[in-house]
């Protein structure tokens, strides 16, 4: 059974204009993601889904498939899940698994694609990349009182013992297509974690993130 990979890359980002075409270490976020995908998937199994002519032009230069996204599925109000479901309806593929990657994670690794595929082929319905978290996290209750999310305020474990917690990396996700269509949720069915112990995890959201990514890129490429 085959897998296909899609890279959603709409043109209407608000925090950073044309974010997917911004440069990190002299390469666009889109191209960085496509090249990682190409190390695992053949070109004919990779799609870039976009509503933007400049993004489509850049994707075409990489020799991958283009999916032209309808305006309804390129708005701020449209969820990633809805855009992926529309993509699947449009291409009408007989693939069993869908892998999707987000351009906003400039330091994702090619191994993430392979590891996600392996999890799905092992029988999981969905999988996604995470990294370990040892932070001490808090929230405020409805009265404004500080409440620990993990430890009690009376007993505080050592940071290195604060284990078995993970943060969503925001980079690579995978789903059994049939299950995803049924549940309309990327975390459908029986979900597995792809724990990335090494590497550097970073997401581009604000202009300052781009500055930091370019400063850090020589150390994490």
Token readout for 125 is 């319905």
Comparison of pLDDT for 159 and 59, the residue scoring more:
59
Cβ neighbours around 184 below 10 Å, total = 12
Cβ neighbours around 141 below 10 Å, total = 8
| Spatial distance between the Cα atoms of 68 and 50, rounded to a whole number of angstroms | 5
Q: What's the pLDDT score for residue 160?
A: 64
Is the pLDDT at 101 greater than 90? The verdict is yes
* Cβ 149 vs Cβ 162: under 8 Å: no
**Residues ≥6 apart with Cβ < 8 Å to 71:** 51
**Residues ≥6 apart with Cβ < 8 Å to 17:** none
Strand 23-24 relative to strand 27-28, pairing: antiparallel
Q: Mean of the per-residue pLDDT values for the chain? A: 91
Is the pLDDT at 107 greater than 80? The verdict is yes
Q: Which domains does the chain have, with CATH numbers?
A: 3-129+169-187+200-220 (3.90.550.10)
Question: Between the CA of residue 126 and those of 3, 85, 103, 150, what are the distances in Å?
Answer: 13, 15, 20, 26
- Rounded to 5°, angle at Cα 46 from 28 and 112: 75
Strands (E) in 88-165, as ranges, are 97-101, 126-132, 138-140, 146-148
Q: What is the pLDDT of residues 162-189, one digit of tens each?
A: 667 889 999 999 999 999 999 999 999 9
pLDDT confidence tier of residue 133, bands split at 50, 70 and 90 = confident
| Spatial distance between the Cα atoms of 175 and 164, rounded to a whole number of angstroms | 23
Longest dimension (CA), the chain: 58
| Least confident segment among 46-60, 79-93, 99-113, 191-205 | 191-205
Comparison of pLDDT for 200 and 29, the residue scoring more:
29
Q: What's the pLDDT score for residue 153?
A: 55
Q: What is the pLDDT of residues 21-54, one digit of tens each?
A: 999 999 999 999 999 999 999 999 999 999 999 9
């Amino acid at each position: 059974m085959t897998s296909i990979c899609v890279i959603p890359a709409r043109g209407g980002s608000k925090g950073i204009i044309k974010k997917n075409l911004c440069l990190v270490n002299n390469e666009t976020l889109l191209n960085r993601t496509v090249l990682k995908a190409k190390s695992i998937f053949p070109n004919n199994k990779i799609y870039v889904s976009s509503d933007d002519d400049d993004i489509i032009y850049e994707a075409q230069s990489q020799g991958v498939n283009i999916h032209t996204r309808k305006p309804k599925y390129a708005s701020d109000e449209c969820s990633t899940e809805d855009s992926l479901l529309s993509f699947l309806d449009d291409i009408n593929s007989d693939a069993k698994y869908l892998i999707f990657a987000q351009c906003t994670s400039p330091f994702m690794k090619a191994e993430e694609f392979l590891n996600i595929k392996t999890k799905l082929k092992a029988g999981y319905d969905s999988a996604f990349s995470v990294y370990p978290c040892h932070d001490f996290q808090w929230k405020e209750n409805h009265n404004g009182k500080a409440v620990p999310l993990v430890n009690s305020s009376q007993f505080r474990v050592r940071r290195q013992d604060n284990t078995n917690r993970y943060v969503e990396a925001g980079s690579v996700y995978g789903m059994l297509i049939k299950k995803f269509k049924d549940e309309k949720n990327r975390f459908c069915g029986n979900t597995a974690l792809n724990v990335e112990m090494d590497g550097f995890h970073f997401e581009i959201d604000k202009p300052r993130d781009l500055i930091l990514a370019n400063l850090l890129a020589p150390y994490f490429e």
